[in-house]
Amino acid sequence: MPAALPGHKTRSDLFDAAAVEAFTEIDARWHDHLTGLDVAVDDIPRMLPRSDEPVQWPDDVTADGQVPLARLIPAGVDVSGRPTRAQIILFRRPLELRAHDAEDLPEILREVLIEQVATYLGVDEETVEDGPDED
């Protein structure tokens, strides 16, 4: 029987790994504040604008012009009455399309995640980068 070959990593696998790495850096500083937050990936946004007119996205959406790159969904209650956790959804295809090369993607993910975590925490992006105040 031939030796098993290492599995091929898809673009989706590589994106997921880059997203985990980018979030891990933020989580290392803010872990105690992020215990109620999940991060997920969806291939494309399902919330595109309905016209070519410039759109004003709400604070919970990180966008590049007309194209959403990520969205924060607050904690709530599902249709069965069960509580849900807050969730950042990263939109893989739009984020990949903005990266010029493989080295670009981690930085773009980091910037988007910082913006989304700042919205979640109700602080500015610089505060997220600096870390929480230690009292």
pLDDT, tens digit, 9 for 90 and up, residues 40-85: 999 999 876 666 677 788 889 999 988 999 999 999 999 999 999 9
Does residue 113 lie in a domain region? yes
96: domain range?
A: 11-46+59-129
Counting Cα atoms < 13 Å in the Cβ hemisphere of 5 gives 3
Tell me how far CA of residue 108 lies from CA of 26, 51, 70, 81, in angstroms.
14, 26, 11, 36
Does residue 79 lie in a domain region? yes
Query: What is the model's pTM?
Result: 0.87
Q: Please report, for the domain that includes residue 39, its CATH number.
A: 3.30.2010.20
Does residue 109 sit in helix, strand or coil? helix
pLDDT: which is higher, 3 or 126: 126
How many domains does the chain contain in total?
1
